[in-house]
Structure formats: C-alpha cells, structure tokens
Amino acid sequence: MKRRTFILLSTVAATNLLACRNDMSTIYMRNSSYTDNENIEFTSKLAIPPIIDGTEKNGVYHYDLNIREAKHNFFKNILTDTYAINGTYLGPTLRLINGKKISINYTNNLNETITMHGHGMHLPAKMDGTPHQKIAPNTTWSARYKVNQKACTNWYHPHTEGKTAEQVYKGLAGLLIIEDSESQKLDIPKEYGVDDIPIILQDRFFTSSKQIIYSPNMMERMLGYKGDTFVTNGVLNPYLDVEAKEIRLRLLNGSNSSVYYLGFSDERVFKQIATDNSFLQKPVSLKTVRLSPGERAEIVVDLSDMLGKNIYLKELNQNKIFIKLNVSKKASKITKVPEVLTKLKQYSLTDAVNTRKFVLSGRMGNLYINNKSMNMNRIDEIVPVNKVEIWKIYNQKMMMMGMEHNFHIHATHFMILERNNSSSNVLENEKGYKDTVYLAPGDSVKLLVKMSDYTDNKTPYMYHCHFLEHEDRGMMGQFLVT
C-alpha cells in the first residue's frame, strides 16, 4: 500500500497550512517524494490517443464509445485494473467539425451507473451529460446535437452524482477537438500526433501491487486528492520523438485536484495560442502556464534549435517531469505562428442586464456555494437566454484561512473581466473564452456570461468547482436557461 504521513490537525488549520498563495510561485508539497526526475529513464513511448472522425450516417457523424473495466500496463509486466473507453485507460480523441451534426454514443459496460459530460461543449441541456442524464449498466445514451462553437480543445468525462472523482480517477476521460474553417487556415502545427500533440496530465496513487487506489480521507476530500505519481496520456515517465520545428501541445489538466505550473526544463519561452474555448486573439509569450483541474491551454514551443537534443515538460513547483521530448528528426514542414490568430466577439459591462454572486465556502467538513450544498431537486438560478450577465465568484477565506477552488460553468463560455477587483490582474493568456477559472484562497473574479441558443424549462445545467472531490462533496449548483 502507499505510505502516507499525516499530522493530526483540525480541517481548517490543515487547510491553512496547505493552501497556496495567490502568485505564480505557489508551492504545494503533499509528499516528500516530489523531486527532480531528469535522471529517471524515459523508456516508455508516449501514447497518442487514437483520433476518431466519426462515421457519417444520413448526415449525422456517429462516435461509438464503449465504457468498460480494463487492465492497463502502467508498469512493465504488471496489469493495473482500470476503467477505460475503447481501450485500456482513458479514451480516444473525438474530432468534431463546427456546423456538423453528431451523435456521441456512450455504452456503459460497467457494473455501476455513470454519466458522460461534454466539458466545454455548447449544447442543449438534455445532451449535457449531467447527473440527470444517467447511463445505467448495459445501456447506451447518445449526446446528439449540432456542433455550434469555434475551434478549441474540450474533453469528456463522467459527471455522476457523488462519484465523478472516483470514476475519472480510474480512467474515464478523453479529448474533444473542435475544428473550423479558421483553425484549418492558420499556419500552426496541425498534424495530429506528429506536431499537434494531445497531452492529458494527471497524478495517481498506486498500491505496492501497482493498483490504482482511490481512498481519500476527510482531509483529502476537503483539500483534494493529489497523487504522488505523474501520468501523461496514461504513461509513466514517457518520451516522444519530435521534429526540430514548432510543436503544438494541447494541454489538459485532467487531475482530480492538483494545480499545475508548467514550463520547460531550459526555461525557454513558448507561445500560448488558445485557452479553454477559443484561440487567443494574439499569441502570448510565457515561460510558465498555470492550469487548474479541467482547464486547457494550447501552447506552441519552437524546437528548431534542438535537433539531437532533449527537453522536458515539467511541473515547476514540484520540479518533476511529465514528458521528455527527444528532438530527433528534421522538420518535414515548417510553420510560423501568426501574430494575429482570431477576432473574438467582445461584450462590455454596459451590455449586462443582471449581476449574480457566487460564494465558495466550507465549514465543518462541508463545502458550499452561497451556503448551499448541491441538491438535485433544487434549481438555484434562472438565467435568461441571449442576455449578458455579470457573475461574481468569491473564494471565501475562513478566519484568514482557505483552500484553492475553481469555477466551471456548463454550456457557455465566459470572459474574465476582473480578478481581485482589477482588470489589470487578468493575465494576458486568460483573455480568450473560458469555461473554468482558477481562484486562489481569498480570490474573486468577475465574469461576463451569456447563455445563448438553447432553452429548457425543466432540464438544468451545472456550475461547480472542478476540484472533483469538492464537486462530489456538494460544491455545485443548478440553473435553467429560459
């Protein structure tokens, strides 16, 4: 079994000790095994999830996904029990085209009920895959809709009431890549698996017999379940052979509760070209990108000067590596990220017709939004369609203490107007459309939100913290779009 060392503290006191500061030097050290691992042998090739373009039938593109128990080789000659989608861990990448009708068909071959949510997708409430759209064992549920959003990198995962964290932890997740005419014309890397690489970042605990263990105690349910072993696309200590050119990495923080600060081992500058739900208007040059659970970032790193050399993608606070890139090939095609990527539709404060306030808090081991825990039978907000609103989110400290959270809104994409009461605190790489926003202890954000296209007087969407242990403990609410 895994070894853990705990100091017995009150939940609030422990939260204070482990909470991150609100700056880019934040450090979270749960386990002393976090060390620089450049000397580890990277002998396992990075798995590239197979990409599915769908099978066209009568004008609808079908994606058939089988969810099942499986066994996966994280460790040589050892099989680990997992949940998987069409494989042995995680699922395939689904490539969707804006404007096309689709049907994602989820067949549940597990012995427990699940749901499957299209995180970041703009779609009708009945197709959202929330706890209301249950998939019983040995049944199939289909999310059918017309793709209706700009190019971006989204993902799919369970959203089962009280079970989301465990089901994701066991392996149920995959990417949804949306392409449109604009993305296809840009001079950026776009050959999937060659210079356009999907990267699903996770951390896991394994037992001494190399089995995945999901057994959070009370403190870990409050602070989040953060594993001591990094897993990238289902592979431990992976390498990937790449060309000496611009390489695009589609980064997803697919962990349950860890916040990652990502950069390269030689501290080189890279360009972020997209956030959760859109390209940025212009590339943003960075050395570090922060991703909280559920957030995505597309980055382009220029490796044209690295032929014959290696470079590592690292989690900088833990000084630990997710992947080793071997720049072992000459460039077969040269790209150059343009200075302008897109033109985003902008709204202003004067467009807003309403302001809503959401306070994230906890006490006595329970987690709340606006002092309420999730109730499937309660609608918390009624939101009018096609109206611009301001949503203010507060991560409330308790007696100078607090914990990290983020905030995810289903079915729409928002702009961050302010962080901690100032627009100057909004990072340049946060200025695209997003669906998930990070809040350090005591943080507040002001969002510009517009629900469009879809209404339903009975079926709700969700808003919630995407730290999965927090979501499962009730930090979630429901809203109708009418």
Question: Is the pLDDT assigned to residue 36 strictly greater than 90?
Answer: no
Query: pLDDT confidence of 39, banded at 50, 70, 90?
Result: low
Residues 6+ apart with CB under 8 A from 118: 104, 127, 128, 129, 143, 154, 156, 176
pLDDT value of position 264: 98
Instruction: Please provide the DSSP assignment of 128-178 as one string.
Output: S--TTS-B-TTEEEEEEEE--S-SEEEEEE---TTTHHHHHHTT--EEEEE
Q: Would 211 be classed as within a structural domain?
A: no
Q: Would 9 be classed as within a structural domain?
A: no
Q: Would 78 be classed as within a structural domain?
A: no
Instruction: Please provide the DSSP assignment of 59-123 as one string.
Output: TEEEEEEEEEEEEEEEETTEEEEEEEESSSSB-PEEEEETT-EEEEEEEE-SSS-B--EEET---
What value does the mean pLDDT of the chain take? 92
Residue-wise pLDDT tens digits, 295-334: 999 999 999 999 999 999 999 999 999 999 999 999 999 9
Top pLDDT among 151 and 38 is at 151
pLDDT value of position 401: 65
Instruction: Select from 477, 427, 467 the least CA-distant residue to 253.
Output: 467
Top pLDDT among 33 and 403 is at 403
pLDDT value of position 457: 97
pLDDT value of position 41: 85
Residue-wise pLDDT tens digits, 163-191: 999 999 999 999 999 999 999 999 999 99
Query: pLDDT confidence of 365, banded at 50, 70, 90?
Result: confident
Residues 6+ apart with CB under 8 A from 112: 137, 163
Contact yes or no for 312/38 (Cβ under 8 A): yes
Contact yes or no for 186/192 (Cβ under 8 A): no
Tokens of 54: 């769908």
- Continuous segment of H or E residues that includes residue 326: strand 320-329
Question: Is the pLDDT assigned to residue 467 strictly greater than 70?
Answer: yes
DSSP 424: G
Tokens of 456: 């339903």
Question: Is the pLDDT assigned to residue 78 strictly greater than 70?
Answer: yes
Share of the chain above pLDDT 90, in %: 87
Contact yes or no for 307/293 (Cβ under 8 A): no
Q: Would 393 be classed as within a structural domain?
A: yes
- What is the spatial distance between Cα 299 and Cα 284, in angstroms, rounded to a whole number? 9
pLDDT value of position 37: 53
Residue-wise pLDDT tens digits, 102-130: 999 999 999 999 999 999 999 999 999 99
φ, ψ for residue 109, nearest 5 deg: -100, 10
CATH number of residue 445's parent domain: 2.60.40.420
pLDDT value of position 56: 98
Query: pLDDT confidence of 348, banded at 50, 70, 90?
Result: confident
Enumerate the β-bridge partners of residue 114: 135
pLDDT value of position 310: 97
Query: pLDDT confidence of 366, banded at 50, 70, 90?
Result: confident
Residue-wise pLDDT tens digits, 225-241: 999 999 999 999 999 99
pLDDT value of position 17: 35
Provide the whole-model pTM. 0.92
What is the number of structural domains in the chain?
1
Task: Work out whether the CA dihedral 300, 304, 305, 311 comes out positive or negative.
Answer: positive
Residue-wise pLDDT tens digits, 389-430: 999 999 998 755 689 999 999 999 999 999 999 999 999 999
- What is the spatial distance between Cα 300 and Cα 283, in angstroms, rounded to a whole number? 9
pLDDT value of position 91: 98
CA 447 to mean position of chain CA atoms: 19
Sheet (strand 388-395) strand order: 366-369, 352-363, 388-395, 444-450, 415-419
Q: Would 224 be classed as within a structural domain?
A: no
Q: Is 35 strand, coil or helix?
A: coil
Q: Which amino acid is at 223?
A: L
pLDDT value of position 384: 97
Q: Which domain holds residue 444?
A: 349-481
Query: pLDDT confidence of 18, banded at 50, 70, 90?
Result: very low
Q: Would 223 be classed as within a structural domain?
A: no
Q: Would 77 be classed as within a structural domain?
A: no
Q: Please state, in angstroms and as integers, the Cα–Cα distance from residue 24 to each residue in 27, 230, 259, 261, 289, following that order.
A: 9, 21, 11, 8, 9
Share of the chain above pLDDT 70, in %: 91
Q: Would 205 be classed as within a structural domain?
A: no
Enumerate the β-bridge partners of residue 55: 62
Contact yes or no for 83/91 (Cβ under 8 A): no
- What is the spatial distance between Cα 390 and Cα 393, in angstroms, rounded to a whole number? 10
Residues 6+ apart with CB under 8 A from 26: 20, 259, 261, 317, 440
Contact yes or no for 80/210 (Cβ under 8 A): yes
- Percent of the chain that is helix, strand, coil (3-state, to 5): 10, 45, 45
